């Protein structure tokens, strides 16, 4: 079982890295891009014995306590029950 | 009086802080490895600059889980002095000992240069030997020094005199041109409500020798030493 954790900047927090990436994408000729914001993605492999609910609670706690800084970031967690333990 | 300088894997301004405290403040100092859990006998700890844990995840994010940080929290709750410089400031914000966060510089550059700082509050243990509004020349060296906080936090920082240093020009004028990293309201250093915890991005320990271009940093360390002495008296 895997937890997929997405950490993103809160709305309103400026993202200079995302801006620079946006600029590069435009230089490559991509058009109609409104905005690019950079975030972080984590995969947490969890014990297969956990229920989906337990897995979600564990991953959310890790995200809240370690992966995201609540001053500037939000997070979301998706549990993938089909993912093998040793990917 | 005894100072401790924390050492995390990746700290690299620990020796500079040690040098300044022993040579220019003239007080005993110990290095404190991050696995130590007892800070008994110390009056102040310096959380030094560097790249603790390689800045993995976010600057300062992993250092806050080092065993010593639990002791640092208790130490600060006792009213003892905790002084975070650069990465140390980032660690103290991540640990929740100071409000706000430090993000990537808005210009995306690692900025390494002397900057001017205006002393916004000289009624703190770290600045009470310095004239208010005095302009100090102290270097910065960071990529993640862009201070951010929400409006409510900013307002309380202002109202409670917790903004201790602001980036300014050589005349003490706080303006956009003198802001090296995009920090909200040119904030370079803040303290907690109790004034015993200070964090700043500039490096006063690198500004304590004429040879290095400035010795303005000494005034901060000496203020702290005098404050410790006054408390003991």
pTM of the model: 0.95
Domains of chain A, by residue range, sit at 2-80
Does the domain at B3-232 match CATH 3.90.700.10? Answer given as: no
Q: Which segments within chain B are labelled E, that is strand?
A: 3-7, 29-33, 44-47, 81-85, 101-103, 111-119, 135-142, 146-148, 163-168, 187-191, 197-200
pLDDT in single tens digits along all 233 residues of chain B: 999 999 999 999 999 999 999 999 999 999 999 999 999 999 999 999 999 999 999 999 999 999 999 999 999 999 999 999 999 999 999 999 999 999 999 999 999 999 999 999 999 999 999 998 999 999 999 999 999 999 999 999 999 999 999 999 999 999 999 999 999 999 999 999 999 999 999 999 999 999 999 999 999 999 999 999 999 88
Q: How far apart are the first and last CA of chain A?
A: 10
The reply to whether A13 touches chain B by the CB within 8 Å rule is: yes
Taking CA atoms, B197 is separated from A60, B79, B80, B175, in Å, by 31, 9, 8, 26
Distance from CA of A3 to the nearest CA of B (A): 18
Write out the two tokens for A84.
Answer: 């093998």
Which fold, A2-80? Answer: Mth169; Chain: A , (3.30.1280)
The reply to whether A44 touches chain B by the CB within 8 Å rule is: no
Distance CA B85, CA B97 (A): 13
The reply to whether A7 touches chain B by the CB within 8 Å rule is: no
User: Is there a catalytic annotation at residue B86?
Assistant: yes
Distance from CA of A13 to the nearest CA of B (A): 8
Tell if the CB–CB gap between B107 and A16 is shorter than 8 Å: yes
Domains of chain B, by residue range, sit at 3-232
Nearest by CB to A69, from B99, B101, B182: name it: B101
């Amino acid at each position: 079982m895997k937890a997929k954790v997405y950490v993103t900047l809160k709305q309103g927090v400026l993202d200079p890295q995302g801006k620079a990436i946006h600029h590069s994408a435009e230089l490559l000729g991509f058009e109609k891009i409104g905005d690019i914001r950079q975030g972080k993605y984590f995969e947490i492999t969890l014990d297969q014995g956990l229920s989906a609910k337990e897995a979600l609670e564990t991953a959310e706690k890790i995200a809240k306590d370690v992966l995201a800084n609540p001053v500037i970031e939000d997070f979301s967690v998706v549990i993938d029950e089909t993912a093998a333990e040793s990917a | 009086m005894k100072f401790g300088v924390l050492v995390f894997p990746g700290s690299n301004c620990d020796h500079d802080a040690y040098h300044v405290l022993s040579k220019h403040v003239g007080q005993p100092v110990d290095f404190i490895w991050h696995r130590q859990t007892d800070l008994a006998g110390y009056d102040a700890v310096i959380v030094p600059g560097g790249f603790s844990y390689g800045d993995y995840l976010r600057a300062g994010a992993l250092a806050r889980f080092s065993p010593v940080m639990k002791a640092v929290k208790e130490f600060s709750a006792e009213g003892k002095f905790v002084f975070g410089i650069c990465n140390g400031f980032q660690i103290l914000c991540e640990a929740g000992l100071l409000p706000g966060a430090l993000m990537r510089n808005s210009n995306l550059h690692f900025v390494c240069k002397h900057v001017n700082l205006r002393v916004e509050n000289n009624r703190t243990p770290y600045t009470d030997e310095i004239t208010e509004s005095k302009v100090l020349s102290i270097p910065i060296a960071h990529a993640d020094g862009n201070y951010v906080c929400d409006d409510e936090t900013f307002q309380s920082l202002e109202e409670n005199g917790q903004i201790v240093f602001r980036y300014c020009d050589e005349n003490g004028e706080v303006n956009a041109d003198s802001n090296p990293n995009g920090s909200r309201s040119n904030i370079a250093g803040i303290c907690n409500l109790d004034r015993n915890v200070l964090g700043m991005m500039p490096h006063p320990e690198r500004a304590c020798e004429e040879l290095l271009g400035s010795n303005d940093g000494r005034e901060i360390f000496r203020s702290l030493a005098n404050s410790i002495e006054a408390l003991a008296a």
